[in-house]
Amino acid sequence: MRIQLLADLKYRQAFSHYLSHVADIQLVSDKPDIIVDSSFLNPRKKIDTLRSVFPIPPIISNSLSISSTTVWHAIGEKAQVVGVPMLPHYFDRQLSVEYSLPYQGSIKKNTHDAPELFLPFLSLLGKIGEQVNDAIAGVFPRTLAMIINEAAFAVQESVATAADIDTAMKLGTNYPKGPLAWCDEIGAEAIVAILDALAGEYGSERYRVAALLRRYAESGMKFIGQRVDEV
């Protein structure tokens, strides 16, 4: 399957390294079967880039910061779009992934059909898909971002150290890793982008980013261990 990868520069290597090592997938720069648009840091730039592609093939759009409906409506309603919330440095390990389809017309029910190549694409990755309602960041990434944000607030307010919070969450909730170690792995900038997009969508105080988390995103610092640029 011929895949054209679009990505934020910061996370392009992570996504391209993963896809390039999948059997039967060829990364190409033109005439793809599917576009995998993993970008999410700048939704406006993402839409401008997709508008420049013609003729446009089916699109798998990273929905961490913009819904599949918004992308579909912005680039043209003849486009085939599937939204998948793809977390950098984590999507490669997911066996089950959420996906969403655009809402069409004035009805509230989703009637958009997934492109025929979408499920075969997931199969090539060794994944299965679970359809969810179209919303920014889906279910799991949104929940994880909120947990990370609350942990960052706790560190910011000197409730506990980052290491102690992670230990408590692993022992108390049986998480595979602590929320702040998870933040370090995915990238604080990605978590902030998700929360900012959710705050813009819902205007809710619950998505207000902890100042400390935003500073870590800006500086490249990690809560547990090295700076991002030292890895």
Cα–Cα distance for residue pair 116/155, rounded to 1 Å: 46
Q: Residue 100 has what DSSP assignment? A: B
Pairing of strands 2-6, 34-37: parallel
Q: Which tokens sit at 225? A: 């261990």
Would you list the DSSP string of 194-231? HHHHHHHHH--GGGPPPHHHHHHHHHT--SSSS-GGG-
Q: Quick one: pLDDT at residue 110?
A: 47
C-beta of residue 37 within 8 angstroms of C-beta of residue 60: yes
Give the integer Cα–Cα distance in Å for 64 and 68. 10
Q: How far apart are CA 4 and CA 63, in angstroms?
A: 17
Task: Specify burial of residue 21 (Cβ count, 10 A radius: 0-12, 13-18, 19+).
Answer: exposed
H/E stretch holding 186 reads: helix 179-186
What pLDDT is attached to residue 54?
A: 81
In this prediction, residue 205 carries a pLDDT of 87
Q: Which of 140, 64, 145, 73 is nearest to 104 (CA)?
A: 73
Query: pLDDT (tens digit, 0 to 9) for every residue of the chain, 231 residues total?
Result: 999 999 999 999 999 999 999 999 999 999 999 999 999 999 999 999 999 988 889 999 999 999 999 999 999 878 899 999 999 999 999 999 999 999 975 444 444 567 788 999 999 999 999 999 999 999 999 999 999 999 999 999 999 999 999 999 999 888 888 999 999 999 999 999 999 999 999 988 889 999 999 999 999 999 996 543 433
81 strand-pairing partners = 59
Which residues, including other chains, have CB under 8 Å from residue 151's CB and lie 6 or more apart?
162, 165, 166, 169, 178, 179, 180, 183
pTM for this entry: 0.90
pLDDT value of position 203: 87
Domains of the chain: 2-131 (3.40.50.720), 140-230 (1.10.1040.50)
